[in-house]
């Protein structure tokens, strides 16, 4: 399907992606996991550009989970360097494409140099009015909810919030994602059928699309196929229709 035909479809405003399969992609080719991550970085660049081109308003990428810190130190170090390089090399492209960069997660967990580059790229793109690209870094859905509960309890303790007023909106306003709408479409690559602790609260009524394609091979055509599939869905949000 061409980009022109996609433009006439009902596009999701917010797409979230679990980018999975870098390691398996490398293993199948007899390469190191590092090479898989490098290839995955190129897929990320292409998908970001296509999403902005087609008119997606928000794109959230699960780039690094809180569980990923348990990987071998050498691999974690490489991932942080790749992230830093991606930000340095791609910020100009984000500006050119009018893409605003944001990030969610336990950002203070990131190495200082990586964190500094992230904040710099966020600042440099803050005036952009096109698509918002959200990187989930040192992110965990359960951690996010726990931190939201703690924040709400602080407000109650200070007398700023009556416990009787706590509802879904209050919880949502205390999540990392409080500035963004819930995702309409969640894409998972590599064929795994699980959320992996990603956007647990926000994905209550999100449409899910799973593909066996490994992330480094998930490019323009694969992304458009996912959007095409979404356009055929009838979202009822629990209602009968």
8 Å CB contact between 184 and 234: no
Catalytic choice (20, 22, 174, 184):
20
The residue among 51, 10, 14 whose CA lies nearest residue 202 is 14
Query: Cα–Cα distance between 241 and 239 in angstroms, integer?
Result: 6
Query: Cα–Cα distance between 87 and 102 in angstroms, integer?
Result: 12
Compute the Cα dihedral for 120, 126, 129, 131 and give only its sign. Answer: positive
Catalytic choice (68, 109, 228, 229):
68
How many CB atoms within 10 Å of residue 140?
20
Q: How far is CA 132 from CA 16, 51, 121, 139, in A?
A: 12, 10, 13, 18
Asked if 22 is an active-site residue, the reply is: no
Asked if 68 is an active-site residue, the reply is: yes
Q: How far is CA 147 from CA 151, 153, 176, 209, in A?
A: 6, 10, 9, 28
Residue with the two structure tokens 């793109």: 125
In the sheet where 132-139 sits, what is the strand order? 100-104, 132-139, 58-65, 14-18, 185-188, 207-210
Token digits of residue 181: 């709408």
Give the relative orientation of helices 73-96 and 33-54 as an angle to the nearest 10 degrees. 20
Query: Would you name the residues annotated as active-site residues?
Result: 20, 68
């Amino acid at each position: 399907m061409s980009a022109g035909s996609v433009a006439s479809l009902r596009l999701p405003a917010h797409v979230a992606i679990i980018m999975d399969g870098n390691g398996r992609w490398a293993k199948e080719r007899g390469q190191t996991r590092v090479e898989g991550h490098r290839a995955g970085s190129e897929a990320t660049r292409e998908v970001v550009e296509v999403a902005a081109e087609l008119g997606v308003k928000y794109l959230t990428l699960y780039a690094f989970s809180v569980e990923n810190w348990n990987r071998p130190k050498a691999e974690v170090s490489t991932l942080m360097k790749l992230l830093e390089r991606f930000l340095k090399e791609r910020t100009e492209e984000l500006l050119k494409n009018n893409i605003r960069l944001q990030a969610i997660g336990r950002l203070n967990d990131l190495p200082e140099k990586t964190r500094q580059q992230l904040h710099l790229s966020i600042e440099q793109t803050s005036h952009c009015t096109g698509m918002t690209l959200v990187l989930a870094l040192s992110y965990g859905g359960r951690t996010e909810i726990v931190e939201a509960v703690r924040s709400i309890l602080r407000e109650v303790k200070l007398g700023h919030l009556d416990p009787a007023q706590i509802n879904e909106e209050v919880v949502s306003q205390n999540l990392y994602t409080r500035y963004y709408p819930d995702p309409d479409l969640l894409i998972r690559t590599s064929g795994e059928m699980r959320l992996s602790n990603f956007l647990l609260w926000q994905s209550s009524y999100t449409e899910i699309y799973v593909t066996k394609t490994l992330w480094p091979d998930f490019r323009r055509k694969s992304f458009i196929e996912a959007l095409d599939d979404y356009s055929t869905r009838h979202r009822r949000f629990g209602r009968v229709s």
